[in-house]
Copies of this chain bind each other. A is one copy, B any other.
Amino acid sequence: MTAETDDDTRPATISRVAELAGVSRATVSRVMNGSSTVAPHLAERVRRAAAALNYQPSVLARSLAVGRTTTIALVVPDLANPMFQDVLRSLSHAAATQGHRLLVADSEENVAEEGLIALEARRRCDGLVLCAPRMPDDELAALAPKLAPFVLVNRDAVGLSVPSVTVDYAAGIRDLVSHLQGLGHRRLAYLAGPPTSASNLQRLSTLRGFAAAGRVELVEHECGATFSDGHAVAGRLLDDGCTAVIAYNDLVAFGALSGLHELGVSVPGQISVAGFDDIPFAQYTTPPLTTAAVPPTELGERAWQRLWALLNGEPPPADARFRPRLVVRGSTGPAASANGA
Interface residues of A (CB under 8 A from B): 54, 56, 58-61, 63-64, 69, 71, 79-80, 85, 88-89, 92-93, 96, 101-106, 108, 120-121, 123-124, 146, 227, 254, 258, 261, 280-281, 284-286
With A61-B64, A123-B59 in contact, do A79 and B71 touch (Cβ < 8 Å)?
no
Contact A101 B103 (CB under 8 A): yes
State the CA gap A64–B227 with chains docked (Å).
46
Question: Of B59, B106, B146, which contacts A89 at CB under 8 A?
Answer: B106
Contacts of A92 in B (CB 8 A): 79, 104-106
State the CA gap A60–B92 with chains docked (Å).
22
Contact A89 B80 (CB under 8 A): yes
State the CA gap A124–B126 with chains docked (Å).
14
Contact A284 B254 (CB under 8 A): yes
- Give the 7 A-B residue pairs with the shortest CB-CB distance, closest first: A79-B89, A286-B286, A60-B64, A59-B124, A59-B123, A103-B103, A104-B104
Distance to closest chain B CB from A21 (angstroms): 21
State the CA gap A71–B59 with chains docked (Å).
13
Contacts of A227 in B (CB 8 A): 280, 284
Distance to closest chain B CB from A269 (angstroms): 16
Contacts of A284 in B (CB 8 A): 227, 254, 258, 285
With A89-B80, A106-B89, A123-B56 in contact, do A261 and B286 touch (Cβ < 8 Å)?
yes
Question: Of B60, B93, B103, which contacts A63 at CB under 8 A?
Answer: B60
Distance to closest chain B CB from A95 (angstroms): 10
Closest to A73 in B: B101
Question: Of B80, B88, B93, B103, which contacts A108 at CB under 8 A?
Answer: B93
State the CA gap A28–B213 with chains docked (Å).
63
Closest to A89 in B: B79
With A60-B64, A281-B281 in contact, do A124 and B89 touch (Cβ < 8 Å)?
no
Contacts of A59 in B (CB 8 A): 123-124
State the CA gap A340–B70 with chains docked (Å).
61
CB pairs A–B below 8 angstroms (5 shown) = A54-B146, A60-B124, A92-B104, A93-B108, A103-B104
Closest to A69 in B: B60
Contacts of A121 in B (CB 8 A): 101
Distance to closest chain B CB from A24 (angstroms): 21
Contacts of A120 in B (CB 8 A): 101
State the CA gap A69–B92 with chains docked (Å).
21
Distance to closest chain B CB from A297 (angstroms): 10
State the CA gap A56–B122 with chains docked (Å).
12
Question: Of B88, B123, B258, which contacts A104 at CB under 8 A?
Answer: B88
Contacts of A286 in B (CB 8 A): 261, 286
Contact B89 A101 (CB under 8 A): no
Contacts of A146 in B (CB 8 A): 54, 56
Closest to A68 in B: B60
With A101-B105, A258-B284, A261-B286 in contact, do A85 and B79 touch (Cβ < 8 Å)?
yes
Contacts of A123 in B (CB 8 A): 56, 58-59
Distance to closest chain B CB from A119 (angstroms): 8
Closest to A254 in B: B284
